[in-house]
Chains A and B, each alone.
Chain A
Amino acid sequence: MNWHAITAIYRFEMARTFRTLAQSIVSPVLSTSLYFIVFGAAIGSRIDQVDGVSYGAFIVPGLIMLTVITQSITNASFGIYFPKFIGSVYELLSAPVNFLEIVIGYVGAAATKAFMIGLIILATSFFFVDISILHPVWMMAFLVLTCVSFALMGFIIGIWAGNFEQLQLVPLLVITPLVFLGGSFYSISMLPPFWQNVTLFNPVVYLVSGFRWSFFGTADVAVGWSLLAIGGFTIACLAAIAWIFRTGYKIRS
């Protein structure tokens, strides 16, 4: 393993995060606070408890997931797309590194940043709602796994994207609807039976459900399924990246 290369990429990417601290951290925190105010306090105060949890607290795991998923994808896709865009990717391709080292560096940094933001939002939520975490270790595990798996997906998007529009396209057209319809703001048991079944095809449902279980001990789907889904997703992304580097898809002619 070329650990120096991994460290170099990781540091370089983290430096970008800290250089753009305002847009990296302040804006997701601000937008999440707005969600808390609107959905949690204003609207939530008129909604009954969901699964025995106040609505304001109920949406906390979903909101964290929403931000963490979006952040993981955006960070990782931008991290690899930008060198491609400006041409400095030549250095990465000519360096004595293999795909795993590149991925650990970029995805690790993107996931770290998303993870930090997730924790900051969690901390922020304490200001708005009363919340306790039933399984803190599992909560952390779900958070880390989500950050890593979606950063992997973001990395793939960054390599695939041919321009900035495409870079935005997948998060906007696919991820946002999946997250919003994945039970971030409601329990899928609130849906009519038909839509409950449809929703089970949405992978985000498993993430939000598992994550919410780690907070409140209640879940829409069994925790085992949640773990399986996120594990499977991670492996699928890794396999896709391995294929990308083996064939040189879009990066090495």
Chain B
Amino acid sequence: MPTILSIQDLTKTYEGGYEALRGVNLDINEGEILALLGPNGAGKTTLISIICGISNPSTGTISVGGHDSLTDYRAARSLIGLVPQEVALEPFETVLSTVQFSRGLFGKPRDPAAIEAILRQLSLWDKKDARIRTLSGGMKRRVLIAKALSHDPRILFLDEPTAGVDVELRKDMWEIVETLRQAGVTIILTTHYIEEAEAIADRIGVINKGEILLVEDKVTLMRRMGQKRLDIDLSTPVDAVPDALSRYPLEVNESGGLTYHYDTNADRTGITQLLADLSAAGLHMSDLHTSQSSLEDIFVDLVADTPADTSKEDAA
């Protein structure tokens, strides 16, 4: 897939010396959905603000569809739609007028049919004449999306689209994102929610303290996540894997117990047979633990600047 957005060596230092971004490099492919995960203050919103032209970068370049975001800002910005984190709408305007305004602002001629299609897609058509202040929080978020889509952008930024919204609306948002993806829109979303990234993203980027720590295909990440480890504590510790169990990929662990790696996504984990054979071999278990490295762990570990570890959970 061709690159539609290319960020090179982007830094942002605020007056007073605070470094919000420290050399961000990121290429985004056309048509993909990238989720940017990061804690509060990681630089997610700053990054988006700079790409969209709301803030100026300190150094570095951004190319949007081949157009430099500073020298060729008209062409660059025309390709981008932004759904901000905060619901910032003129309270006394109607839904229709505010969406029409957005389209005009981005240099597109009036097109009632296009606006109607967007409003219908977002279930806003019935509310087109309603004043913004009369809408529910969820509806206001939809209006923000409608505004961002009003000029047919090729790239859509969603800055924490589901922060503070209920489960139902979150599912709706995901569906909207999926529909947009099918229409070929490239989507970059920031989120705190790991499951959100898992549910809708193609690639996942982790950002912390102004640096991109990882950008990886979601499937690859999931594979890493899918690996589980079973630790079997034995009443009598062993030095080596008993011959009777040699057909299993077992290792002897520090406490003289056995460790078994398996794939939770596989059809069969082999645990039942292993435990039966263990018993048949005359080994007595004193305890069992399973542990899994989840995306959340990967995320937390990366953010904490410590090597990847595994979380523990007790097995039944």
List chain A residues, Cβ under 8 A from B52. Answer: 90, 93-94
Interface residues on B, range: 20 to 34
Which one of B85-93, B178-186, B213-221 is at the interface? B85-93
What count of chain A residues pass the 8 Å CB interface test? 28
Q: Would A94 and B101 count as touching, CB distance under 8 A?
A: no
Contacts A15-B97, A94-B53 given: A4-B80 contact, CB under 8 Å? Answer: no
Cβ 8 A contact of B90, one of A86, A94, A95, A253: A86
CB-CB under 8 A for A90 and B88, given A15-B97, A96-B77, A252-B55: yes
Residue in chain A with minimal CB distance to B102: A91
Interface residue B228 (Cβ < 8 Å from any Cβ of A): no
A94, B104: Cβ atoms closer than 8 Å? no
Asked if A4 and B102 sit within 8 Å, CB to CB, the answer is no
Which of A86, A88, A95, A248 sits near B77, CB closer than 8 Å? A95
Of B74, B75, B89, B147, the contact of A86 (CB 8 Å cutoff): B89
Determine whether B39 belongs to the interface, using a CB cutoff of 8 Å to chain A: no
- CA of A95 to CA of B54, assembled, Å: 9
Q: Which of B80, B86, B108 contacts A94 (CB 8 A)?
A: B80
- Cβ of A12: which chain B residues have Cβ within 8 Å of it? 93, 97, 101
Q: Does A7 contact B (CB under 8 A)?
A: yes
Mask for A212-253, Cβ within 8 A of B = 1, else 0? 000000000000000000000000000000000000100011
- Chain A residues within 8 Å of B91, by CB: 86
B105 to A91, Cβ gap below 8 A?
Answer: yes
Tell me whether A8 and B56 are in contact in the complex, defined as CB-CB below 8 angstroms, given that A91-B105, A96-B77 are known contacts. no
Closest to B94 in A: A15
A8 pairs with B100, CB closer than 8 A: yes
What 3 A-B pairs are tightest by C-beta distance, nearest first? A8-B104, A87-B88, A96-B74
- What 10 additional pairs, Cβ within 8 angstroms, besides A9-B104, A15-B97, A93-B54? A4-B104, A5-B104, A8-B100, A8-B104, A9-B101, A15-B93, A86-B88, A86-B89, A88-B88, A89-B88
What are some 10 contacts across the A-B interface (CB < 8 A)? A4-B105, A5-B106, A8-B102, A8-B105, A82-B90, A86-B91, A87-B84, A87-B88, A88-B88, A96-B77
